[in-house]
Structure formats: C-alpha cells, structure tokens
Structure 1
Amino acid sequence: VDLLQSLLVDHLFRIQEYFSIQSLLQVLIYLVCHPSWAVRKIAYDATKNILSSSGALAEDLLFLFTSWLSLVGERVLILKQSDMDSFGDSQLPFIPSTEVLVKCLFLIAPYAIDHSQRSYARLILCSHHPCISSSGSPAGVWKRLQKRLKQQNISFTDLIFPNITVICKELLSKDGLFSSNKQEQRAALCSLATLMSISPNDTFVEFEKHFIELPDRTLHDGFSENDIK
C-alpha cells in the first residue's frame, strides 16, 4: 500500500510512461474492499492521500468503481444461480460486503465531486447501483451519501440543479440507461427517478430532448392494430 501511495502521489507523472494508471487504481479499489479490516484501514488512509493529491485520479477511480460494482453484481448473480458458496476468479477473488462497497463510494465521493460535472452523474448512478442498493429502498444509499457529503459542507442537491443537463446526458448515455450492462441500466433508471423527485420539470425536459432524438422513436406509428396484437 505504501508503495502504491508513493507511486501515485510522488511519482505520478513519471510512472505514466511505464505503468497503466488504471491498473494501479484497480489495485487500490481491491485493497479498499479487501476482506481484512486491517488492510482496508491502511488502504483508506492511502486513498485519501492519493486523491487529495490529484482530483483527476478521483474521477478515474470513480469510473473504475462503477465497473467494479457491476463485476461484483455479476459474480453474486452467478453464485446465486449455481448455489455455490465461492468460486475462483482472478478478476474478483472475493465478494465484498455491501457495506464495504458503500464505504468505498463514500470515500471516493468528496474528492470526485470537486473535479468534474461528469462525476455528479456517476456518483448518483453508483449510489443507485443494485449491487449496493436494495430493491425495497433504491434511494437509500443516495440519501446516506447526501448526509455524508453534508458533513463535509458539500450540498449535492445544490450542485444538481445547475448541472441537470450534464447529469441527464450522462445517465441517458451508453454508460447509463443505454449501457449493455443490465445493472447499470437499472441504476440509471433509479437515478432518473430520484432526479424526478428533486427537479421534475428540468429532468423531464432533458429526457424529452433525448427521446425526440432517438432514431426509432416513430417506428410504432407504422404499426397496425393487428401488429400490436
């Protein structure tokens, strides 16, 4: 962990010539979600130092975390379908608990939110991801995230209103509702539902803009009554 921190804090520009930064950040996520609390504690502190040194890394880490959530969700589904207790997987040697994943999101959030508007949409989507949110309360983690950010004097809701166009564009993109990953589709759908509760008029206007631009939106007009039946 110390080596990883040193590379990403003290030698970031130099190591970009020799290493994949994304690969190093993937290792960081792995350590932050490690089964051992002792490892997670050290990784938490290192992550804070790393993200404090570079806001760009926070955004990259957030996007990688989204992929990590989907990977975890896929593996959990496989386990449920196969009635297995565990499996060998080089990409995911262990299944982090829901709370560990939530805490990882909370760790990244305050750093990512300061970097770019795209991070707003990604944070909303992650907080509604089925891997960490329950079907009974899909906005539960989102509410916890808002409270956590408020403790750090960050009002996420206030950031949403002036950036609703960018946020909706991201949620309605191939990284959101039109993703090939069903979990990300569901997360985007729940995220849009939350946005409708926050700013219904603006959210609907943005959705309508996107809907109008869909190339096949008028195909149903050519269907006869028999076709529909």
Structure 2
Amino acid sequence: MSRLIVLDTETTGLSAVDGDRIVELGCVELVNRKLTGNNLHLYFNPERDSHEEALRVHGLTTEFLRDKPKFAEKARDILAYLQGADEVIIHNAPFDVGFLNKELERVGLPPFKQHVSVVTDTLVMAKELFPGKRNSLDALCDRLEVDNSGRTLHGALLDAELLADVYINMTRGQDALLMAEDDGPADAGAALLQQHNKVDLRSIRLPVLQASEHELAAHEQVLTELDKSSDGKTIWRTAAA
C-alpha cells in the first residue's frame, strides 16, 4: 500500500528568515494513488499581519486569523498525520519546507525532512517534463486539463487537491504498463517503480499486430528505393541473406 501526502501552505509573506509565518496548511492523502478524504486543513494565528501582496493572494486577514491556534499548538498533530507517508509531494518544495523548518525550529523540533521519508518537488518534475514552459500550478492545470475554475484566491487545501490531480497526471505513465482491472497489480507496480526497483514484466502479454499484404508491399518498395539511392550498399539485404 502506497500512502502519499500532497501538502501546501499559505504564508504572511515570502521570507521565513525575515519572520514571515505560515497562516494555512492543507494536506491531501492518497492511498494507492486515490484520494481518501482523510485530509488535514488548519488555519494559524501568525501573530503578525500579512504583507499586502500576500493578502491579495490568499485573502486571510489578521481579523480572521486572530482566534485561530498558533502553529506551536498543532505542530505535533501535523507530524502525527504525516507519520508513515511514503512520500510528501509539494510544488516548489524549498519554499514550503523552509517555512515548515522555521516553524518547527520555534518549538524545538527537528527540521521537516527528518520527520518524513521523501519530499518530491512537482515544480522540478514539471520543468523536466515541460522544459521552457510556464510550470506554475495554474499553468499545469491548464496543460493537463485539471479543472481549477473554482480557484479565485489561493487556498492551501484547494491547491493541495489541485496538485494531487496534477501529480497523478504527470506520473500516469510510470505505471501504465502495469495497469490492470483491479487495483492490486497496478498499485504494486507503481510502488516498485517509485522505489526504482526492477519490475518483472514477463507476465505481461502485449498484442502482436501482423502487417497486411499492402503494408508489406509498401515496406518492400521503400527498401527497394533505399537500395537504389545507396547504389546497393545497404546492409539489411546482406544480413537477411
């Protein structure tokens, strides 16, 4: 069984080092690459105002957050929820992990990556899959046909849900050869691929399509033309003989 957590945060600004804080955390759970509904969604009182630019992004005002718990009150609950996850998936992971590290440091806990097995950055994945293209979450939703029409403001839980769909779309090819009617073999294959282990494909039976007489004749005509253009120096005739 593979348990993945897709995580997103909203913050008061762009710099954890300069004192900006997390104001919202959203986590979405996938088991065997399917949403379970066992999500985690928290707002925090950051004990400071959001920068104007950040407020325009998430819309979480100081007044709204004033009666919310402080991060320190929920830190261990968050870590307990993440416990046992095979992978934590974040878009532009250094940003969110940097803020999580700072919040954990304030309560005397080790850095974020010491509490989880693997952190996967979907921004890095997207840049490898779509080099030279825009790879923001909105851009990826458009490219991969993930419906983000309800996203007027950024929200950690909504963005985590969208990112879960984006991640599934970006990694669908990893287990396509192992997809089956039931979930068992496909999910086992996906887990093996994610662990970079060898997968035994001997049980896979791929259909063999025979060429028609017309296709064989067309192929022979192409070979004949190549023979002529190379003055008979092609090697496949010799190899076939």
Q: TM-score, normalised by structure 2?
A: 0.24
Greater RCO structure (CA 8 Å; 6+ sep): 2
Q: TM-score, normalised by structure 1?
A: 0.25
More helix by share: 1
More strand by share: 2
Greater Cα radius of gyration, structure 1 or 2: 2
